[in-house]
Amino acid sequence: MLCLLAAILLPLAGFAVYYTVRGVLLSYMDGNLEARAQAIMVATEVHGERLDLDDDLVAFAGFGQGNPRDFFAMYQSDGARLLRSSSLPLGSLDFIKQEILQSTSQPTYLFATLRDGRPVRVRLQGFMPTGAKSGDGFHDLRLVTGTETRGLQETLRTLATVLTGTGLGFFVATILVLRQALRRGLGPLSHLAKEIRAIQPGHHEALDMPPHALPEELVPVVEKLNELLKRVDDSLARERRFSSHAAHELRTPLAELRAAAELAATWPEEATPERMKEMQQSVAELEQLVEKLGILAKADANVQAAQEPVDLEATIRAAVERYRDNADSRKVTVVVHVTPGPFRADPTLWQTVLSNLIGNAIEHAPEGSAVTITANPTRLSVSNPAPHLLTGDVPHLFERFWKKHTPSAARAQHSGLGLSIVAACATAMGARCDATLGADATEKLLTIEVTFDAPAKSPSPHGSRTA
């Protein structure tokens, strides 16, 4: 690619240099012709019916006997030649007679070739000499000044030859240098590929490639690869912790269930209804834990969440009714504020979010307190008093299996998965989950918010009721 770019740019640069130098030389030549033409026009005077030319000024302008390269000629408006320099043979300018007659006070420059084969640059301009009067035959004259261009052409040919040779040499040198540079530049890439191939499953150490030993272009690549490896390690560490915590949580109900089963098998007379109820409770705890683990696995699988119309108020009130008995037994008041409006979500994930948020808030709220649920098509907020929580506990609320040792947690024997399930389901639906703890010392209020993208239509006016 670099060679192709050089092959395109080098000729363009050569053309640019060539035509720039040509323009400068041509401008210099035209400037000389203009100065000589001005000298001829100043040296031309009309005395009565005679046209005079100051020979000294003509020689000063460079049209003397010893200069065959430059010439001039003067014509009347009808094409009759009045004067010419000795260096211009007769009839040499007849081939541009039409251009001479058409010339005006604005100068015109032309390239031409004289009859004797000399390449020239000519300047044509109309003028009125000093002393001329309208109608005397001299008031509208045409002046032609010119100079040979052999020197200019030879200079430009030499320049073209030098530029072509230099360009070819530079092109060949560029190819050689690029080959060597590519060999040296690809060395770090080969080393990087070797380091990547050496990564073993389960061992994702950072790549051993110090930034100072790398080309500047590869430093971001290695940094991003190291970041990726760190994320992979962190993810595997989280999975290991999750598996360890899951095994720990499953071990207790399984041990209780096994002990009860062994007791019933050894002493059948001990298999009382109370024992059977304890076994049923252990099985129920196992079912709940396995169900939560399944929900987490589904949310973590990055499966595309469905987008279906959902009745916002109906689903929230149905979720509240599922926990009505628990709320009544603990004298917890549930206040619901819903702003209706078009709302789309995954029905299963949405039900999971509501069930865990509302159930968790009712279970952890102190007896006789209130749980407040506020919802609109862009936000769901569930708040409950949390006197035992500290500000430092808030970042851990969404961690899996994290538990705060409180009287309500000890009573309910929670698995520590509720809010982590809420966060995972919210993420799967493209929403954001946040937790805040009020600073009021008398009644610290924990608020969990799930924020969605704004809907296409604005919601209608809302109402506020106590469930």
Domains belonging to the chain, first-starting first, are 2-156 (3.30.450.20), 219-300 (1.10.287.130), 308-466 (3.30.565.10)
pLDDT beyond 50 at 129: yes
Q: Which is higher by pLDDT, 151 or 428?
A: 151
Of 98, 82, 77, nearest to 140 by C-alpha is: 77
Inter-CA distances, 221 with 102, 169, 194, 196, 211, Å: 70, 36, 15, 12, 10
Contact 144, 161 (CB under 8 A): no
Q: 381-402, pLDDT tens digit by residue?
A: 999 998 888 888 888 888 877 7
- Letter for the amino acid at 352? T
* Angle formed at CA 16 by CA 13 and CA 17, multiple of 5 degrees: 90
Of 332, 20, 376, 338, nearest to 163 by C-alpha is: 20
Q: Which is higher by pLDDT, 95 or 152?
A: 152
Instruction: Lowest mean pLDDT of 43-47, 192-196, 237-241, 314-318, name the range.
Output: 237-241
Q: Taking residues 176-205, what's their average pLDDT?
A: 71
Sign of CA dihedral 343, 348, 354, 357: negative
pLDDT beyond 50 at 456: no
Q: 269-301, pLDDT tens digit by residue?
A: 666 777 677 677 667 666 766 666 666 666 665
Exposed, middle or buried, 178 (CB in 10 Å: 0-12/13-18/19+)?
middle
What pLDDT does 302 receive?
56
What pLDDT does 295 receive?
64
Instruction: Lowest mean pLDDT of 137-151, 175-189, 362-376, 419-433, name the range.
Output: 175-189
Contact 447, 436 (CB under 8 A): yes
Q: Taking residues 123-130, what's their average pLDDT?
A: 90
What pLDDT does 467 receive?
47
Of 453, 440, 423, nearest to 387 by C-alpha is: 440
Contact 335, 466 (CB under 8 A): yes
What pLDDT does 29 receive?
92
What pLDDT does 464 receive?
41
> Which of the residue ranges 91-95, 109-113, 233-237, 453-457 has the most confident prediction, judged by mean pLDDT?
109-113
pLDDT beyond 50 at 457: no
What's the CA gap between 111 and 29, in Å, rounded?
12
Task: Report long-range pairs for 294-300 (Cβ below 8 Å, ≥24 apart).
Answer: 295/352, 295/421, 295/424, 295/425, 296/400, 296/417, 296/420, 296/421, 296/424, 299/349, 299/421, 299/424, 299/425, 299/427, 299/428, 300/424
Contact 463, 313 (CB under 8 A): no
What's the CA gap between 427 and 317, in Å, rounded?
23
What pLDDT does 383 receive?
92
What pLDDT does 228 receive?
79
- 463-466 vs 81-84, strand pairing mode: unpaired
What pLDDT does 212 receive?
61
Q: 50-91, pLDDT tens digit by residue?
A: 888 887 777 777 776 667 788 888 888 888 888 888 888 777
Q: Taking residues 139-160, what's their average pLDDT?
A: 90
Q: How far apart are the first and last CA of the chain?
A: 71
What's the CA gap between 18 and 198, in Å, rounded?
55
What pLDDT does 348 receive?
81
Q: Taking residues 352-363, what's their average pLDDT?
A: 88
pLDDT beyond 90 at 336: yes
Give buried/exposed letters for 86-120 (b at 16+ CB in 10 A, else e).
Answer: ebbeeebbeebeebbeebeeebeeeebebeeebeb
What pLDDT does 379 receive?
93
What's the CA gap between 47 and 110, in Å, rounded?
32
Of 395, 456, 455, 450, nearest to 426 by C-alpha is: 450
Q: Taking residues 347-365, what's their average pLDDT?
A: 87
Inter-CA distances, 121 with 31, 34, 59, 112, Å: 12, 12, 20, 6
Q: 214-231, pLDDT tens digit by residue?
A: 667 677 777 787 787 777
What pLDDT does 96 receive?
81
- 119-127 vs 50-53, strand pairing mode: unpaired
Contact 198, 221 (CB under 8 A): no
Model confidence, pTM: 0.43
What pLDDT does 287 receive?
72
Q: CB 203: neighbour CB atoms within 10 A?
A: 9
Average pLDDT over the chain, rounded to an integer? 79
What pLDDT does 333 receive?
93
What's the CA gap between 22 and 153, in Å, rounded?
9
What pLDDT does 303 receive?
57
Q: Taking residues 154-174, what's their average pLDDT?
A: 87
What's the CA gap between 178 and 2, in Å, rounded?
8
What pLDDT does 90 receive?
78
